[in-house]
């Protein structure tokens, strides 16, 4: 269902393709990448350079989190010195300055604090259908932000019980976590 449907990304991409083709034709006739803005007619210059951003982020000190995720567990770090729990996990405890914090597995049920549905998506999320993001409070006292498995935001309410599942994110094909309403 929905596989043939045009996504927001298809729309963004076709708009940009049309735009670039228009500027290319202007460049051919004028000899410079100069074109009038479609609405105002004001002269614009299209940047002839392009940059791609794809970051490489060190997780050396929290790699256990990702190994556990692939095994179906959601972990947090806990300071053995002052008992503070950290989610997102972090190696260092700024409270007592201890380092090399140990790992605990978090409970899988919590209470929905708040949520939204993202309708106008960022470019890098524009291939998905509208998705709901929620923040859920766990008994350990930490909150976890994730997508909620629900299409209709009017069916959700703060205070509802939520269960966490480790899921494969498609089409990227990697493990992440998701909230599922407990009916």
Partner 1 sequence: MSRNVAIVGVGHSKFGVRNDVSLPELAWESIKMALEDSGLEQKDIQYVVVSNVGGWSSEPLPAVVVNEYAGICPTGTVRVEAACASGSAAVKLAYDMVASGHVDIAMAVGVEKMNESPTPTVVEFIGRAGNYFWEFQNFGLTFPGYYALYMTAYMHKYGATEEDFCKVAVKNHYYGARNPKAQFQKEITIEKCMASRYIAWPIKLFDSSPITDGSAAVILASEEVAKQLTDSPVWIRAIGYASDTSNLSKRDTFTSLRAGVIAGEKAYKMAGIDKDKVLNIIDVAEVHDCFTIAEVMAYEDLGFAKRGEGIEMIRNEETYIGGKIPVNLSGGLKAKGHPIAATGEGMIAELTNQLLNRVEKDRQAPIKNGYALAHNIGGTGHYAYVTILSLSKP
Q: How far is the CB of 101 from partner 1 (least distance, A)?
A: 16
Nearest to 114 by CA among 153, 87, 169, 85: 153
**What is the token pair recorded at 66?**
């990702």
Q: What are phi and psi of 24, to 5 degrees?
A: -60, -40
The smaller minimum CB distance to partner 1, of residues 17 and 97, is found at 17
Residues 100-139, interacting with partner 1 (CB under 8 A): 113-126, 128, 131, 133, 135
Site membership for Zn ion, residue 32 (CB under 5 A): no
Residue 96 binding Zn ion, by CB under 5 A: yes
Distances (CA, A) of 87 to 57, 91, 93, 182: 18, 11, 12, 22
The two three-digit tokens of residue 45, written as one number: 């210059």
Regarding 180 and contact with Zn ion (CB under 5 A), the answer is no
Whole-Å CA distances, 169 to 87, 140, 165, 174, 176: 21, 26, 12, 5, 6
- Which one of residues 28, 31, 54, 57 is an interface residue with partner 1 (CB under 8 A)? 57
Number of residues that bind partner 1 (CB under 8 A): 42
Residues that bind partner 1 (CB under 8 A): 12, 15-16, 37, 39-40, 42, 44, 47, 57, 87-88, 113-126, 128, 131, 133, 135, 142-147, 153, 157-159, 169, 176
């Amino acid at each position: 269902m929905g596989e043939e449907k045009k996504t927001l990304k298809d729309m963004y991409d076709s708009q940009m393709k049309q735009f670039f083709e228009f500027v290319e034709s202007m460049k051919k006739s004028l000899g410079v990448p100069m074109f009038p803005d479609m609405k105002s007619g004001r002269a614009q210059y299209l940047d002839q350079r392009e940059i791609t951003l794809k970051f490489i982020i060190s997780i050396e000190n929290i790699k256990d989190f990702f190994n556990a995720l692939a095994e179906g567990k959601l972990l947090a770090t806990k300071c053995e010195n002052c008992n503070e729990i950290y989610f997102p996990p972090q190696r260092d405890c700024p409270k007592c300055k201890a380092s090399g914090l140990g790992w605990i597995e978090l409970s899988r049920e919590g209470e929905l604090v708040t949520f939204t549905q993202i309708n106008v998506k960022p470019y890098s999320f524009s291939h998905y259908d509208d998705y709901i993001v929620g923040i859920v409070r766990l008994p350990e006292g930490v909150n976890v932000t994730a997508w909620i498995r629900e299409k209709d935001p009017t069916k959700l309410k703060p205070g509802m019980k939520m269960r966490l599942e480790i899921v494969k994110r498609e089409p990227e094909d990697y493990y992440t976590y998701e909230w599922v309403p407990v009916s």
